[in-house]
């Protein structure tokens, strides 16, 4: 996937993003980070084809994504939103079935045997007859991921996938994404707020500010205390543990005794 000179301006003349250029390599995990209002959500919606660019082009397989029909694009790119419209009474199995719609014309044609391996892989088989309302936040997020995987995509877009999860489910969900990336060669693009998740679960980081890419590269090159101070206006320190390097936020002002 290539993005060239991509811009979007909202109807109120508010600039969303301005002339972005970057490439998403097949089989990679890319994290998009930045302060609130930096353009992350706008970029996500453009990649998901929920907005049309004011200028510039997004290419997939060397074709502008506008050349794909909705079904053809859904076979290539699956989307997991931060806020999902939840029908409490729908079962896990019925919801995941909808992921097959890019390949079928009628609901009656949906094949449960095609999604069984996905439910098994995500440890959802025992929950498939339960309603979504009965599940925990972490379980619901795995169901939305299963729905996306049922599309058999090459690319997976996720908007802040761990925001509403507790610490245990945050870690397990990110590890699951990394496992999918390795096992299925799935290309993953994710909007993240957690800088340590971005540092440890991506090969490429795009840092946005004021609608522009201010840094792009490896997590170690992009997510540094100096750049975080410049872009996020926060003081941080890089610490080394037996599990690797981690960013720790420090108070901006010394605490009075």
46 located within any domain: yes
81 and 176: one domain?
yes
pLDDT of the residue at 107? 63
| Percent residues over pLDDT 70 in the chain | 95
pLDDT of the residue at 103? 84
80 located within any domain: yes
**Number of domains within the chain:** 2
Contact in structure between 146 and 132 (CB atoms under 8 Å): no
Dump pLDDT digits (tens) for 192-227. 999 999 999 999 999 999 999 999 999 999 999 999
193 and 210: one domain?
yes
230 located within any domain: yes
pLDDT of the residue at 163? 82
Neighbours of 237 (CB within 10 A): 10
* Domain of residue 173, CATH code: 3.40.50.300
pLDDT of the residue at 162? 87
**Domain range spanning residue 255?**
225-257
190 and 169: one domain?
yes
Dump pLDDT digits (tens) for 142-177. 999 999 999 999 999 999 988 878 888 888 899 999
Which parts of the chain have pLDDT scores under 70?
Answer: 86-87, 105-109, 253-257
pLDDT of the residue at 254? 54
pLDDT of the residue at 104? 78
The model's pTM: 0.91
pLDDT of the residue at 138? 85
Contact in structure between 92 and 135 (CB atoms under 8 Å): yes
107 located within any domain: no
Average pLDDT, the chain: 91
């Amino acid at each position: 996937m290539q993005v060239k000179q991509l811009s979007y301006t909202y109807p109120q003349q508010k600039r969303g993003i301005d002339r972005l250029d970057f490439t998403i390599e097949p089989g990679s995990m890319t994290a998009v980070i930045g302060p609130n209002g930096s353009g992350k959500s706008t970029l996500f919606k453009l990649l998901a084809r929920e907005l049309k660019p004011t200028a510039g082009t997004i290419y997939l397989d060397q074709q502008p994504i506008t050349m794909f029909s909705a079904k053809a694009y859904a076979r290539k790119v699956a989307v997991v939103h931060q806020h999902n419209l939840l029908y409490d009474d729908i079962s896990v199995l019925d919801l995941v079935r909808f992921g097959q719609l890019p390949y079928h014309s009628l609901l009656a044609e949906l094949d449960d045997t095609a999604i069984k391996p996905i439910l098994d892989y995500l440890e959802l088989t025992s929950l498939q007859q339960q309603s979504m309302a009965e599940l925990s936040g972490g379980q619901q997020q795995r169901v939305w991921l299963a729905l996306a995987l049922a599309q058999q995509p090459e690319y997976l877009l996720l908007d802040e996938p761990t925001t509403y999860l507790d610490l245990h489910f945050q870690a397990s969900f990110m590890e699951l994404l990394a496992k999918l990336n390795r096992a299925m060669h799935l290309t993953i693009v994710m909007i993240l707020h957690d800088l340590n998740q971005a540092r440890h679960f991506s090969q490429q980081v795009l840092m946005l500010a004021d609608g522009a890419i201010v840094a792009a590269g490896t997590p170690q090159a992009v997510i540094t205390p100096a750049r975080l101070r410049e872009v996020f206006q926060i003081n941080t320190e890089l610490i080394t543990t037996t599990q690797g390097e981690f960013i720790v936020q420090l108070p901006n002002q010394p605490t009075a005794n």
